[in-house]
Chain A
Amino acid sequence: MTITFRTETFRDDFTFRNSPAGIRRFPFPFHEDGYMYSVNIEPHRPGAPGSVFEHGFDVDEHYVAEMADRALVLAEDPLRCQALPHMDLASWDYLELVMTTKARDYPELFTLETDGDRWHWTNRPLGIDDRFTFGVTSTLPCPPLEYIGRQTQGDHCLLDQRDNNLWMDAGMVTTQADWSLDFDIGMNFFEWHAPVPLAHEMGVFQRAIKFLTSIPQGQPSRRLNWTLTVNPRLDTSPENYPKWGPDKLTVTPDTIGEKMHLRVELQTFWRLPRSNALVFPIRCYLLRFDDLVTIPKWARRMHRVIRDLPPELVTYKGMSRYHPMLVEWLAAHDDGAPTSPGIFPD
């Protein structure tokens, strides 16, 4: 299967679109007609061919455009990629994980040749062909986390493991749902999750940390998270809130279908064996509401989820301004028929 990489933007004129195949493979996050936080973690096993779960690191038609958008963000704000000094080994660990996994899963796109510590990496979609010494930062054009982060879709958090806790001590974060790496770097699992409503009281985080700290190497896990974003904008950072906040005022019943996007994060958890750190890639997928409602099951379910969403989540996910309008718009796409279990289209 060859991927045709789209030429598109995630800002200004927003030319981002999903192809028909892209719509069908979208990781719709609701397996039932309602949503509440839970410890929704499952093994990150290879999934159905063509699905976003087929490979450990999914590469899709937006790859090249997303990497171009990332470069624009980093040029404006270098603090989006940071590593505390003790995270160098974990950064190399992550570079190794991505390179070996992608070269195995997409041999037509990526090649890795190794001879001891001498590595040769080819990334054909981005036109990169580099030789370097594994573990020696001066042999790369930039530090290892930045190097691999500029070539891998999604955000990337490297978590040091100490005292039965995880510490966000490094990351590359340019496609986030309104949180700041520069602010959160150095925090532990409970601290960076502090702003999340309800989940602490439900014991979600206490149970999750026990699981996360014992993830063995070679056995990654995953979960899906979601929010809504106006316009297909990847960089909805707090830093740039004054740039994307006003977009919310442009939402009207007439523009919802075009402007409103379901934003799903495929989050995976991997043990990094050389450093004993954990890596948490957060891969963002966007789906226009107009495209979403072409799948009848998703249209029905989306309406019911948004309608019944607990008020705390409506506020936290930033949709207070237009929640009633959304429910009304979605209601018109829900014929009341029952939906089948699971996330996949019928």
Chain B
Amino acid sequence: MSSTARALAVTVADVIEVTPLVKRFEFVSTDGAPLPPFSGGAHVVVELPDGDHLRRNPYSLMSSPRDLSRYAISVRRDDGGRGGSRYLHEQVVPGMAMTISAPVNLFALDLRARKHLMIAGGIGITPFIAQIHQLSGGGAPFELHYKARSAPLAAYMDDLAARHPGAVHACCSDRGEDLDLDTLLTTQPLGTHLYVCGPERLIAGVTARAAALGWPARHVHVEHFAAPPPGLPFAVRLAASNLSITVRGEQSLLEAIEEAGVDAPYLCRGGACGQCETAVVACDGTLHHHDHWLTDAQRETGDRIMPCVSRFTGRLLTLDR
């Protein structure tokens, strides 16, 4: 009883340079049919077959949920990462056939909200673009605050500001602008829901201020953009499948399990959804938890791991998989 979103065959329709660091990739379905509907905040998992290494990375959909003729994602090039964004930037060109997953939403709007207050940092803007499309068909008002290093690096800023005057606010650090969080969080009407997506530091800062200013936890929603960090190679024993594997440095544990032909469930591949949770049978070494799912107490016991993002150093890790 576990879940993995089904696969969709798509063709790259367009690759557009948005900023020096960000490219937008647009997909149409290969059979010409409309793509499946989705809700703002949903992501797809994109398969990146780089040589003999298959990576699967999650990216938020940023196109309009009302336009199912194509999906769009925007990818920031991260040269320090595991190579997924570099592959997309360097290898993926229009006309290419690719496989993506059906959309899954782990960052949905709370439709009870009287108002949606959105705070984006950098490329964390993408899920909000789809959500704003969704809301502009009717629904509660929104207000977006977008933090970026500079205006030229703030992907889609001009477009958003032009289309939603008064509702979209830029905050560029090179112009010395900073978000006046306390004023923002103390002037919202009752029933507002707050959404944050961006770097870990931004998320931690905003959620801490919101809590201190008396915001209910269930009114605060975050999307952790936890890309699996690279690390050192390590050895794993898959007890249920009776296999021994090695996880390479730029590979996630989940990818290594998949590469061995073992079926493993997942939805987010970012340590947020809990789907990939795997029991640890034996651990001769140290687990490095990078997920947002397990509680501190669960980490303490060390009896489970989220293989989509977490790693291990030591002699041998044995999993119930």
Contacts and interface: CB of A to CB of B under 8 A. Distances in A.
Contacts of A273: 36-39, 103
A41 interface: yes
A218 B3 contact: no
Contacts of A274: 37-39, 65
A89 B138 CA distance: 11
A51 interface: no
Contacts of B36: 217-218, 273
Interface stretch (A207-215, A242-250, A279-287): A207-215
B21 interface: no
B122 to A, nearest CB: 25
A46 interface: no
A162 interface: yes
B20 interface: no
Interface string B260-276: 00000001000001110
Interface stretch (B46-54, B106-114, B178-186, B245-253): B106-114
A219 B111 contact: no
Contacts, number: 61
Nearest to B267: A214
A208 to B, nearest CB: 9
B102 A217 contact: yes
A38 B81 CA distance: 44
Contacts of B37: 93, 96, 217, 273-274
A162 B102 CA distance: 20
Number of chain B interface residues as a range: 20 to 34
A162 B103 contact: no
B111 A275 contact: yes
Interface residues of A, number: 24
A135 interface: yes
Point out which of A218, A273, A275 has the most chain B C-beta atoms below 10 A from its C-beta.
A273
Nearest to B268: A214
A86 interface: yes
A276 interface: yes
B218 A210 contact: no
B274 A210 contact: yes
Contact of B110 (A162, A210, A219): A162
Point out which of B6, B41, B104 has the most chain A C-beta atoms below 10 A from its C-beta.
B104
B105 A276 contact: yes
B165 interface: no
Nearest to B6: A218
Interface string A134-164: 0100000000000000000000000011110
B274 A276 contact: no
Interface in A54-112: 86-87, 89, 93, 96
A160 B111 CA distance: 9
Interface in B16-59: 36-39, 41-42
A341 interface: no
A39 interface: yes
8 contacts: A41-B1, A160-B111, A214-B2, A214-B267, A217-B102, A219-B3, A274-B37, A274-B65
- The 3 nearest A-B residue pairs measured at CB: A86-B111, A216-B5, A273-B37
